[in-house]
Amino acid sequence: MKAAIFVEPKKVEVKEMTMPKLEKPTDAIIRVIRACVCGSDLWWYRGIAKREGGSTIGHEAIGIVKSIGDDVTAVHPADFVIAPFTHGCGYCVNCRAGFDGNCLNQEKGINGGYQGEYLRFTNANWALIKIPGQPKDYTDAQLNNFLALSDVMATGYHAAASAEVQPGDTTVVIGDGAVGLCGVIGARLLGAKRIILMSHHEDRAKLGREFGATDIISKRGNDAVAEVLKLTNGVGVDSVLECVGATSAIEQAGQLGRAGSIIGRVGVPQTEPASNQLFWKNIGLRGGIAPVTTYDKSRLLKEVLEGNINPGKVFTKRFSLKDIQKAYEAMDKRETIKSLIIVNDK
């Protein structure tokens, strides 16, 4: 089978690989239909984070179940499924608490290989999300919506849930990538009345408004903070969604929140803020790895199936698997919000 691998910073390629096999009774083998490139993939693509050369890449996909282990009963061969980047078992204390992204029974070092023709998926009985019917039953746009549920939509929703967005809130979203834009959807689903999106790109701001943003702040730094404070009569916002991961974004979030507000952070952090402003303003900081399966099963799949949300619109360019280098370059150069990868036909 063909699968994408990391070669070195700024270089990925497709190679012929050994077909994955069932290794545990809780495994499933998935024939991947569509995959995509994540903003967090850019950390190692740019050489900021370390990754082993020759390792398989990708952590978001939808596909068809090819085979299952003996302990898997929730899905069967030929089922159409979402393969989340998380692999919760569903029964450990963390999964039962709603944090399957922190499952105590995940294998180490398995988060890769989704950008390939076949994928070995662990903890398949609970973590896989079955989609009714088959890919042929859905439009191209609907398939993209399902793919977004494998990570970015659930991660954006996690930012809003972690920030404890309440009905009637004024919320600000820092980051206009796919996760930030999905955070706008998440804030709207949780009832935010005013959603302020920090965006410096016209195409992303336009999609943000379509998703539910009521205000766009295009300025940067202290000027952006001043604009948000102006919109909130100098008080600050009720909740902040930090969808970047940079120290500067967390620092800015602390400037934007009112006393007692909460920052929901989902941007993969490379460094941590050093200031004490969160302490002096009684601002909470929480968030982390999104519990994808929990959110998809409890709400997000239903919202997509009923046509209430369309997170798949974040895929603004598409590529075949053989053009994986171009897919990463487009993300790196901000030529697309999120690169869609067509791996197999329906």
Q: Tell me how far apart the alpha carbons of residues 267 and 270 are, in angstroms, rounded to a whole number.
A: 9
DSSP string of 300-314, one letter each residue: IHHHHHTTS--GGGG
- 157: DSSP letter: H
Contacts of 270 (CB under 8 A, 6+ apart): 43, 48, 49, 245, 246, 247
Check: CB of residue 322 under 8 Å from CB of residue 344: no
What is the C-alpha to C-alpha distance for residues 209 and 322, in angstroms, rounded to an integer?
34
Integer Cα distance of 54 and 236 in angstroms:
47
Give the tokens for residue 17. 């690989």
Surface-to-core class of residue 209, CB atoms within 10 Å of its CB (0-12 exposed, 13-18 middle, 19+ buried): middle
3-class DSSP state for residue 74? coil
Alpha helices in the chain (DSSP H): 41-45, 93-96, 124-127, 140-148, 152-162, 178-189, 202-211, 221-231, 247-256, 277-280, 292-295, 301-305, 324-332
Question: What is the model's pLDDT at position 72?
Answer: 98
pLDDT value of position 329: 98
**What pLDDT score was predicted for residue 272?**
62
pLDDT in tens, 319-339: 999 999 999 999 999 999 999
Cα(176)–Cα(161) distance, integer angstroms? 18
* pLDDT at position 77: 98
Residue 222 to residue 236: CA distance in whole angstroms: 14
Q: Taking phi first (over 0 means left), then psi (-120 to 50 degrees means alpha), and beta for anything else, what does residue 233 get?
A: left
Q: Please give the model's pTM, rounded to 2 decimal places.
A: 0.95
The whole-number pLDDT of residue 274 equals 58
Instruction: Tell me the C-alpha to C-alpha distance, in Å, between residue 214 and each of 70, 164, 211, 229.
Output: 50, 19, 9, 15
Q: With DSSP H G I counted as helix, E B as strand and the rest as coil, what are the percentages for the chain, rounded to 5?
A: 35, 25, 40
Strands 170-174 and 237-242: parallel
Closest C-alpha to 183, from 157, 163, 205, 201: 157
Q: Could you give the count of Cα atoms lying within 13 Å of 320 in the half-sphere of its Cβ?
A: 4
pLDDT in tens, the chain (346 residues): 999 999 999 999 999 999 999 999 999 999 999 999 999 999 999 998 889 999 999 999 999 999 999 999 999 999 999 999 999 999 999 999 999 999 999 988 766 899 999 999 999 999 999 999 999 999 999 999 999 999 999 999 999 999 999 999 999 999 999 999 999 999 999 999 999 999 999 999 999 999 999 999 999 999 999 999 999 999 999 999 999 988 888 899 999 999 999 999 998 776 666 567 787 888 899 999 999 999 999 999 999 999 999 999 999 999 999 999 999 999 999 999 999 999 998 7
